[in-house]
């Protein structure tokens, strides 16, 4: 260090200082400003990217909230539609039961009416057959009794006895 102090020269110091200042000015003008501008631009780009990311995050939250809201609305609408479908189904089933009951009652009444008319017709037919058979039997009995003179007299006597008793 002593040697540096002994070899110190003011002229050399002046020129070194002048060259250093010139070099700093040249660097300031041609290198420092562009470097600072690049750093500032980079910093601004990072700020913009962070702001864009924050905006995107907010937008994603909004989209998520909107999609959840739409999903809830869709679920509510689905439940409403399912409820309406159940009500319509129950109404259709009820109407079908009522209609089937009415049709069944109508068929039963028709069957009862048909049975009643068939019964009357059968009774009438049986009465007619019984009457015909009775007439045929009576005719045969009367022919047989009238064919014999003794039986005729006995029949007249029986009839007279019946009349007197009544």
Rounded CA-CA distance 146/12 in Å is 190
Question: Mean pLDDT across the chain, nearest whole number?
Answer: 86
pLDDT at 115: 93
Residue range of the domain that includes 71: 21-165
Q: What is the pTM of this model?
A: 0.40
How many domains, in total, are found in the chain?
Answer: 1
Compute CA distances 86 → 80, 83, 91, whole Å.
10, 5, 8
Collapsing DSSP to helix, strand or coil, 9 comes out as coil
pLDDT at 125: 87
Largest CA distance in the chain: 202
Q: Do the domain assignments include residue 9?
A: no
Q: Do the domain assignments include residue 151?
A: yes
Among 7-21, 109-123, 139-153, the range scoring the smallest mean pLDDT is: 139-153
Q: Do the domain assignments include residue 54?
A: yes
For 155, residues 6+ apart whose C-beta sits below 8 A from its C-beta are: 145
Rounded CA-CA distance 122/38 in Å is 120
- 150 within 8 A of 144, measured Cβ to Cβ: no
For 145, residues 6+ apart whose C-beta sits below 8 A from its C-beta are: 151, 152, 155
- pLDDT tens, 22-67? 998 888 888 887 888 889 999 999 999 999 999 999 999 999 999 9
Q: Do the domain assignments include residue 116?
A: yes
Q: Do the domain assignments include residue 108?
A: yes
């Amino acid at each position: 260090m002593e040697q540096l102090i002994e070899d110190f020269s003011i002229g050399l110091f002046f020129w070194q200082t002048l060259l250093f200042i010139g070099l700093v000015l040249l660097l300031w003008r041609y290198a420092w400003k562009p470097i600072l501008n690049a750093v500032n631009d980079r910093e601004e780009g990072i700020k913009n990217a962070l702001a864009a990311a924050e905006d995107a995050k907010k937008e994603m939250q909004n989209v998520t909230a909107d999609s959840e809201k739409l999903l809830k609305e869709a679920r509510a609408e689905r439940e409403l539609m399912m409820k309406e479908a159940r009500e319509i189904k129950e109404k259709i089933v009820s109407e079908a039961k009522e209609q089937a009951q009415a049709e069944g009652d109508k068929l039963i009444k028709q069957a009862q009416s048909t049975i009643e008319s068939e019964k009357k017709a059968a009774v009438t037919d049986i009465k007619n057959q019984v009457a015909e058979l009775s007439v045929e039997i009576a005719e045969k009995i009367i022919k047989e009794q009238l064919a014999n003179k003794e039986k005729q007299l006995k029949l007249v006597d029986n009839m007279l006895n019946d009349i007197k008793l009544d």
